Structure 1
Amino acid sequence: MKSSILGAVLLASASIVSAELGVRECFLNNTPKLLGYNCCRNTCSISYKDDDGNWGIENGNWCGIPFTCYNGCWSMPDYQCCRNTRVSQYTDSAGNEWGIENNQWCGIIPQATATTRTTTKQIPSSSPSPVGDKCNWTEDFNSLDETRWNLNSGAECMKVQGGMFIDSVSQSCRGSGNGGRMRTNVRYKSGKFEVRAKMPIASGLVPAIYFASTPDNTNGSQDEWDFELIGSNRMQTNLFINGQGGREEVWNPPYDLSRDFHTYTFEWTSNSIVLKVDNQVVRTFNNPMPTQPSYFILTNWMCVGCDGWTGPADWSRQPYDFIVDYVKITDATCI
């Protein structure tokens, strides 16, 4: 899974520690499926992160970052190791044990791991992110988890209220297109992405759920693919490869998408990307396929001057609310 990006990472990887670390313990010792990889001997530089742990590069090969790089603390740099507790509250997929201090997750150093379980202490609201949850999670919007999301543009246009994420377009909003854009903090390479949402409809309005390989929505050489409701009850899908589009298709749903919540799904594998609405296949991309890791993005904007595409901008019923009930990401890989 890492061989395809090794060349690029080698060019960009950080400095190598000069003093040899020797044979050290790392997350690989707890992960039988990774037999054949070794713990790093000479580097503490993290070149890649995945569900298993932190990876470095030595002699053109991937290696696991040793616990000694963080004074024996395997959960660094994302989480501190526990100072005062040895009680295990959670075991991740790599066999690492987690404790809780000051209502924060902390890593239990392997030599001190305890097997006792308890439910008497307060558990943080989410499980620790460096063990896979950075890629796979469900967001129910009881609050906005900014370890997952970046308010990329128009933060003043967006809010979380009543267990919903609301992105409002109005002339009083200073965001790009008079609305907001929120993206994930990580870039994805595959996975299943579900969004239950109620999209507004107005002439000129474009609520969208999409992927883009660049964080600022530029179209230079980016990969991008979309669900876009374009000015009326028409759903457009498109695919950009290295900035080249021209693959637009319009789906005319048999019901009004603005009257109720519907589930929008991307099923992205190495062979295809399948786009579904309420489990109905709307479109499949398989030739060509995007190659760049991409952010997952929610946005709502008014395309002023796009009369031929979305119709003229109609402000008569503003604000226009794009309301999201939940986002669910499963079977995903990310960086």
Structure 2
Amino acid sequence: MGFSFNGVSVLMLVALMVNSLMVASAGNFYQDFDITWGDRRAKMFNGGQLLTLSLDQVSGSGFKSKSEYLFGRIDMQLKLVSGNSAGTVTAYYLSSQGPTHDEIDFEFLGNLTGDPYILHTNVFTQGKGNREQQFYLWFDPTRNFHTYSIIWNSKQIIFLVDNIPIREFKNAESIGVPFPKNQPMRIYSSLWNADDWATRGGLVKTDWTKAPFTAFYRNFNANACVWSSGASSCASTSSNSISNSVWQAQELDPNSRRRLRWVQKYFMIYNYCSDLKRFPEGIPAECRRSRFL
């Protein structure tokens, strides 16, 4: 990957990775998603068990979920663009629609061969974002599939990588910070060219001689409340309602919080809560409430 672990215990790293192994039950992309753009640059294979997005100099590509969700646990396994991916962005996120939309983002910012990807996260509430945290990963995300998960309930949003929490955004409505809890969201993903900002602030441009660039998806799972006709499936008492609802009240236990601290200590490279130049009038209210927001 081209970067060191800065003294992180190898035994600790191995233990974390072994303990965090997680395989989501395989969804079917034909049943669960629609390809929305790209003129056949997005493709489904193996009876809907594998999906690929591609980017060339003409266009990128993308897809979205057929269903809308209001709270849940969303898991997706991705293998990112390999080689020289500078200038490319692979986005995987939840979003509602409209000028006051809510959004929960994973964005993977490509880089030159041998340099690490940057995992960019953000949370939008009522159309307002500016809550970025960025991370390096402790593995090469282009060599194998890894699971990227969002747990979203009325108390918090938790971002996880291979079941290791990397970020927690708590509900801070009690101090006047809006929280995404009323707008159902679809799952979206896209692969697109963003060489005006994605790699070193736009200094490194996309090398189109390496196109097409391709990202791979498998093992989608949504253990979530489906929103349909103004009602949530979680309100149903029928046997069709979701069976595993641990996520509905899930919070980080002491072991998970230790993992979160480990990731944020060794792999976080940007935290909006620490950017005093950006917020000269004072850091946002939710940052003052918790060091892990």
> Which residue of 2 is the match for residue 299 of structure 1?
190
Q: For residue 238 of structure 1, what is the aligned residue in structure 2?
A: 122
Q: Measure the CA separation in 1 of the matches of 2:143 and 2:107.
A: 16
Post-superposition offset of 1:170: 1.0
User: 1:211: Cα distance to partner?
Assistant: 0.7
Structure-2 residue corresponding to 1:229: 108
* 1:334 positional shift: 2.2
User: Which position in structure 2 is the counterpart of 1:52?
Assistant: none
Aligned mate of 1:213, from 74, 92, 96: 96
Identify the match of residue 321 of structure 1 among 187, 197, 214.
Answer: 214
Cα offset, 1:332, TM superposition: 2.6
Find the counterpart in structure 1 of residue 71 from structure 2.
190
Q: Using the alignment, how far apart are the partners of 1:334 and 1:154 within structure 2?
A: 27
Matches within 5 A, 1:136-151: 138-141=26-29, 144-145=30-31, 148-151=32-35
- 1:289 has 2:179 as partner: yes
Question: Residue 314 and residue 242 in structure 1: after superposition, are their counterparts in 2 closer, same or farther (change >3 A)?
Answer: farther
1:199 and 1:323 in contact (8 A); partners too = yes
Alignment counterpart, residue 200 of structure 1, candidates 62, 76, 81? 81
Q: Does the CA-based 8 Å contact 1:230-1:309 persist in structure 2?
A: no
Cα pair 2:77 2:145 within 8 Å, conserved: yes
User: AA paired with 1:301?
Assistant: W
What TM-score do you get using the length of structure 1 for normalisation? 0.52
- Give the partner amino acid of 1:302: N
Contact 2:78/2:218, CA 8 A, preserved across alignment: yes
Percent identity over the alignment is: 26
How much is the aligned-residue C-alpha RMSD, in angstroms?
2.0
Q: Is the 8 A contact 1:166 1:321 kept in 2?
A: yes
1:168 aligns with 2:49: no
For residues 225 and 96 of structure 2, what CA distance do their matches in structure 1 show?
16
C-alpha separation between the residues in 1 aligned to 2:108 and 2:143?
Answer: 13
Unmatched 5+ residue regions in structure 1?
1-136, 173-177
TM-score, L = length of structure 2: 0.59
Q: Any runs of at least 4 consecutive aligned residues in structure 1 with deviations exceeding 3 A, and if so which?
A: 307-311
Structure 2 residue identity aligned to 1:226? D
Unaligned segments of structure 2, at least 5 residues: 1-24, 112-116, 173-177, 229-293
Distance in 1 of aligned mates of 2:70 and 2:39 = 26
Counterpart for residue 22 of structure 1: none
Q: Which amino acid aligns with 2:191?
A: N
How many angstroms apart in 1 are the aligned matches of 2:34 and 2:28? 16
User: Residue 255 of structure 1 aligns to which amino acid in structure 2?
Assistant: F
Q: Kindly indicate whether the alpha-carbon contact (under 8 Å) linking 2:103 and 2:125 is maintained by their aligned counterparts in 1.
A: yes
1:132-154 CA distance string (max 9 Å, x none): xxxxx95244xx22xx3232222
Q: Which has the higher helix share?
A: 2
* 1:259 corresponds to which of 126, 129, 143: 143
- Does the C-alpha gap of structure 1 residues 333 and 272 become closer, same or farther in structure 2, counting only changes over 3 Å? farther
Q: Note if 1:250 corresponds to 2:121.
A: no
How far 1:319 moved relative to its partner? 1.1
Contact kept? 1:265, 1:276, Cα under 8 Å: yes
- Partner letter of residue 103 of structure 2? E
| SS at 1:334 equivalent | strand
Q: Structure 2: which amino acid aligns with 1:295?
A: R
